[in-house]
Amino acid sequence: MNARTSRLGFRTPYYVLTAGLAIVFLYPLIWTTVSSVSPQAGSAQVEGLGFNNYATLASYQAGLPHYLGNSLAISLVTVAVTLLAATFGGYAFARFSFPGKNALFLVTLSILMVPYATLLIPLTIWLKMLGLNNTLVGVGLVLAVFQLPFATFMMRISFEGVPKEIEEAAKMDGCGSFGALRRVLVHAVKPGLITIGLFAFLAAWNDFMVPLFLVGGENQPLPLALVNMRQQVMGVIDYGSTQAGVVVLTIPCVLLFLLLQRHYVNGFMSGALKG
Amino acid sequence: MTMTAPASAPDRSPLTPPTAAPARRRRRTTTSRIGWAYASPTAALVLSLFVVPIGIVFFMSGSDWSLLGGNQGTNFPENFTQVLAHRQFWPSVRFTLLYTVIATVLLIGLGLGLALVVQVTSRWSGLLRTAFLLPTALGLASASLLFYALYSPQVGPVSRWLEQLGLTEGVVSILGSPAGALWGTVFLIVWRFAGFYMLLLLVGLQNIPGDVYEAAKLDGARAWQTFRSITLPLLRPSLALSTIMCVTGSLLAFDQFYILTKGGPDSSTMTVVQLIYNLAFESKRDLGMAAALSVITLLALVVVNVFQLRAMRGSSES
């Protein structure tokens, strides 16, 4: 047996085993997608392939477009607020000295240590006092706060990685600190911004617990509406429309993941490296 | 990514000129005012939606506060004694701890295994990485709904597989028994998060310098010896970080159980956070008791994390 065949003999089980693992990870996604258009008892799609489950979903209560719109509005608020606060905050923490700076940074990071539920119980009361109860903006803001530890940390190290000379050159040309930020620095920290924007979107788009505590009825985003839809049909559960809903929720996430995989991986890595 | 932020941040603006002291002081107050201006959105969010709610939850935990009736005066320490005496309190603590141990052992073990599989740079391992990571892009709620259908005896294939393997008598509902509900949820979580821990541990693996392995090879170490006495010890910081994240996440498990099992069957899969929700909105509709349990959970989590961070620091010093 020469070296080549012995290597092949060693490699074949490796390929079989890893391909099997990959199938285990991909199978549930493929199964849902295929099932959502396949005939199933108790669903709108009884025979043949077709999109009847999606039609059921489209006309469920306020309708799929309405719940998708809610999800989109929440995600937009979260992404916009996260990007804004973390860009300015990261800049402040990286480049300025001011009293209370370290305390504010530590308090921001400590959001990670506090359970969602511990904040959501008082928030049900507090948002009412602020006039934000049962609103999409309220949910978006709360989700942005949960994004702040990662986003602020990420933007701080991004700004610290930009050479000071770049900023000083901009200031020589007559920019104030804001001008330097807007014209020069924002471009230098773009990878960080894409990463935190991506994470904020995925978190807000997919979140279930925050809307469960804070909104209901017309203001439900799609994940919450799907879970409630499943519960409302007692006895016979319409799995078909649930699967269709999962597919609708998943497609944007998978597309973003495949498009921005590098930024997605970098986001996790920067957390791991600095930990 | 928690407490070890770069401490050597530039604390002074580079623009402070070496001029007279009053001018410098004025410049410094100006820069600190500008700094605060930039930090103010963060400060406003943190104050209004984090610090104030924390204060409110402590206040609520000492108040008689029903979901519909609002605040009805002080109720300290009754909320706490009632929570501790609640018949589901200790079972939920026990179940949460059991779930945490199982989930952490499996996720870290599998994450490490997957990281070792994909650490070589090749086209195939790149594809594998993508496959293992793909589930992490799904929301936990979507993933739970997906598995809810996957486990259903009516439309899902898993019940039939289990019967064909002889593991169950006939086609049974997987989520219908306490053990099935626990392991079904664990499998979902492993599927959803294994890629994430693979990635964290992969970073650790890639940070181990190659010449250490070279030296081991020259000394004639076997693969298993190399793994045990080189890879594992040098991977300790990454393993510790992954463990802390996994333990924290599992202790606070909510979505997956709320969607898959609703705490059932017979409250056998009721986690602590689910009990908080249950006390607030379902069984008692008592926000005071829910706040008291939230405070207990927060304090327990802080204690667990301080303990873990200390253990981690101790292990990295030795």
In total, the C-beta contacts within 8 angstroms joining chain A to chain B are: 307
Nearest CA in chain A to B238: A272
Q: How far is the C-alpha of A193 from the C-alpha of A84, rounded, in Å?
A: 10
Residues A79 and A182 in one domain: yes
Residues A133, A220, single domain; the answer is yes
Band the pLDDT of A270: cuts 50, 70, 90.
Answer: low
- CA distance, residue B306 to nearest chain A CA (Å): 10
- Chain A hits for B10, CB-CB cut-off 8 Å, are 94-95, 97, 160, 164
Q: What's residue A231's pLDDT?
A: 63
Three-class DSSP category at B267: coil
First-to-last C-alpha distance (Å) of chain B: 22
SS3 track for A63-112 = CHHHHHHHHHHHHHHHHHHHHHHHHHHHHHHHHCCCCCHHHHHHHHHHHH
Residues A89, A126: contact at Cβ < 8 Å? Answer: no
Partner-chain contact B38 A96, CB within 8 Å: yes
CB A189 within 8 A of CB A155: yes
Task: Mark yes or no for CB contact A115/B273 under 8 Å.
Answer: yes
pLDDT band for position B276 (50/70/90)?
very high
Do A30 and A89 reside in the same domain of the chain? no
Cα of A247 vs its chain's centroid, Å: 16
| pLDDT value of position A70 | 97
Choose from B25, B107, B155 for mutation: most chain A CBs within 10 A: B155
C-alpha distance from residue A56 to each of A20, A60, A241 (Å):
35, 6, 6
CATH of the domain at A180: 1.10.3720.10
pLDDT (mean) for A41-56: 81
Predicted confidence at residue B315, as pLDDT, reads 65
The answer to whether residue A14 sits within a structural domain is yes
> Measured between beta carbons, which residues in chain B are less than 8 angstroms from residue A125?
56, 60, 287
pLDDT exceeds cutoff 70 at B294: yes
Contact B199/B135 with Cβ under 8 angstroms?
A: no
Q: How many angstroms separate the CA of residue B128 from the nearest CA in chain A?
A: 6
Question: Whose structure tokens read 């935190």?
Answer: A196
- Whether A98 contacts B39, CB under 8 Å: yes
Please write the tens of the pLDDT for every residue from A91-145: 999 999 999 999 999 999 999 889 999 999 999 999 999 999 999 999 999 999 9
* The two structure tokens encoding residue B192: 């959803």
Closest in A122, A213, A237 to B56, CB measured: A122
| A194 found inside a domain | yes
pLDDT for B17 equals 47
**Which chain B residues are within 8 Å of A108, Cβ to Cβ?**
42, 46
pLDDT of A40: 81
Instruction: Collapse the DSSP code of A114 into the 3-class scheme (helix H, G, I; strand E, B; otherwise coil) and give the result.
Output: coil
Domain limits for position A229: 52-274
- In this structure, the number of other CB atoms found within 10 A of the CB of residue A34 comes to 12
Which one of A18, A115, A249 has the shortest CB-CB distance to B128? Answer: A18
Same domain, A27 and A60: no
What is the pLDDT, as a whole number, of residue A82? 98
Predicted local confidence at residue A81, as pLDDT: 98
Q: What mean pLDDT value characterizes chain B?
A: 88
**pLDDT-based confidence at residue A235 (cuts at 50, 70, 90):** low
B124 to A148: CB separation less than 8 angstroms, yes or no: no
Taking CA–CA distances from B55, the nearest residue in chain A reads A122
Q: Could you please report the per-residue DSSP string of A216-236?
A: -GGG--HHHHHHHHHHHS-SS
Mean pLDDT, residues B39-53? 97
Q: What is d(CA A36, CA A40) in angstroms, rounded to the nearest whole number? A: 9
Using a CB-CB distance cutoff of 8 angstroms, which residues of chain B are in contact with residue A98?
31-33, 35-36, 39
Minimal-distance CA residue of chain A relative to B11: A97
SS3 content of chain B, % helix, strand, coil (to 5): 70, 5, 25
Stated length of chain B: 318
Closest CA to A241 of A7, A17, A29, A57: A57
Residue A99 lies in a domain: yes
**Which segment of A226-240, B226-240, B243-257 scores lowest on mean pLDDT?**
A226-240
Buried b or exposed e, range B11-21, using 16+ CB within 10 angstroms: eebeeeeeeee
What distance in Å separates the CA atoms of residue B100 and residue B109, rounded to the nearest whole number?
14
Same domain, A96 and A161: yes
Residues of A in contact with B146 (CB under 8 A): 28-29, 32, 243, 246
Binned at pLDDT 50, 70 and 90, residue B30 comes out as confident
Which among A26, A89, A118 has CB closest to B39? Answer: A89
Q: What average pLDDT does chain A have? A: 88
**For chain B, what are the domain ranges?**
21-80, 89-269
**Per mean pLDDT, which of A181-185, B27-31, B166-170 is the most reliable?**
A181-185
Q: Take residue B299 and report the two structure tokens written for it.
A: 């304090």
Mean pLDDT throughout B21-31?
Answer: 72
- What pTM value is reported for the model? 0.90
Residues A193, A140, single domain; the answer is yes
pLDDT above 90 covers a percentage of chain A that reads: 61
* ipTM of predicted complex: 0.90
List all residues 6 or more positions away from B99 whose beta carbon is below 8 Å from its beta carbon: B182, B185, B186, B250, B253, B269, B271
Query: Do B39 and A93 lie within an 8 Å CB cutoff?
Result: yes
As a whole number, mean pLDDT of residues B219-248 equals 89
- What pLDDT does residue A39 have? 84
Report yes or no: B2 and A275 within 8 Å, Cβ to Cβ: yes
> What's the gap in Å between the CA of B291 and the closest CA on chain A?
6
Pick from B9, B135, B297: CB nearest A25? B135
CA B4, A265, A78: angle at the middle one, nearest 5? 80
- Considering only CA atoms, which of A74, A121, A163 is closest in space to residue B276? A121
First to last CA, chain A: 48
Q: Judging by DSSP bridges, how do beta strands B63-66 and B70-74 pair with one another?
A: antiparallel
Residue at A203 is within a domain: yes
Distance from C-alpha of B195 to C-alpha of B167, rounded to nearest angstrom: 28
Residue A46 within any structural domain of the chain: no
Q: Assess whether A191 and A124 both reside in one domain.
A: yes
User: Looking at A35-44, A92-101, B20-29, which range is the least confident one?
Assistant: B20-29
Among the ranges given (A111-125, A231-245, B6-20), the one the predictor scored with the smallest mean pLDDT:
B6-20
Q: What does the alpha-carbon distance between residue B263 and residue B265 come to, in Å, rounded to a whole number?
A: 7
Question: What is each CA distance from A218 to A70, A76, A222, in whole angstroms?
Answer: 9, 18, 11
Query: What chain B residue is nearest to A160 in terms of C-alpha separation?
Result: B9
Of B42, B203, B204, the CB nearest to A108: B42
Subunit contact A157:B241, Cβ cutoff 8 A = no
Mean pLDDT is lowest, of B37-46, B163-172, B212-221, B280-289, for B163-172
Q: What is the pLDDT of residue A229?
A: 84
Contact call for residues B35 and A92 (beta carbons, < 8 A): yes
CATH number corresponding to B89-269: 1.10.3720.10
Q: How many distinct helices (H) and strands (E) make up chain A?
A: 14, 0
Question: Alpha carbon of B135 to those of A201, A209, B196, B236: distances in Å?
Answer: 16, 19, 9, 26
In the numeric block, the tokens 């899969």 are attached to: B269
Which residues pair with residue B286 across a beta bridge? Answer: B66
Alpha-carbon span B287 to A61, nearest angstrom: 30
Q: Which two tokens stand for residue A68?
A: 């998708």
Residues of B in Cβ contact (< 8 Å) with A89: 38-39, 41-42
| Residue A45 belongs to some domain of the structure | no
Helix H or strand E encompassing A259: helix A239-259
Read off the pLDDT of residues B103-145 as tens digits, 9 standing for 90 and up: 999 999 999 999 999 988 889 999 999 999 999 999 999 999 9
> What pLDDT, on the 0 to 100 scale, is given for residue A44?
76
Quick one: A68 exposed, middle or buried, by C-beta within 10 A (0-12, 13-18, 19+)? middle
Q: How far apart are CA A21 and CA A188, in angstroms?
A: 39
User: What residue of A is the nearest CA neighbor of B9?
Assistant: A94
Cβ of A153 and B52 within 8 Å? no
User: Residues near A240 by Cβ (< 8 Å), separated by ≥ 6?
Assistant: A35, A36, A40, A42, A43, A44, A45, A52, A53, A56, B155
pLDDT of B316 reads: 61
* Of residues B88 and A175, more confidently modeled: B88
- Arithmetic mean of pLDDT, B257-264: 91
Same domain, A17 and A57: no
Point out the least confidently predicted range of A146-155, A175-184, B262-271: A175-184
Cβ <8 Å between B145 and A113? no
Burial class from Cβ neighbours inside 10 Å (0-12, 13-18, 19+) for residue B284 reads middle
Residue with tokens 């293992």, as numbered in its chain: B132
pLDDT of residue A1: 41
Question: How many domains are contained in chain A?
Answer: 2
My answer on whether A31 and A159 are in the same domain is no
Q: Which residues of B touch A25 (CB under 8 A)?
A: 131-132, 134-135, 191, 194-195
pLDDT at B15 over 80: no
Using 50, 70 and 90 to split pLDDT, how confident is the model at B88? very high
The mean pLDDT value for A175-189 works out to 87
Are both A101 and A237 inside the same structural domain?
yes
Same domain, A67 and A185: yes
Amino acid letter, residue B308: Q
Domain presence at residue A42:
no
Q: Are A158 and A234 in contact (CB under 8 A)?
A: no
CB B269 within 8 A of CB B178: yes
Residues A156 and A126 both lie in one domain: yes
- Angle (nearest 5°) at CA B295 between B291 and B298: 135
Confidence check: pLDDT of B62 > 90: yes
* Residues in chain A closer than 8 A to B36 (CB atoms): 92, 98
Q: Which of A58, A88, A96 is nearest to A241 (CA)?
A: A58
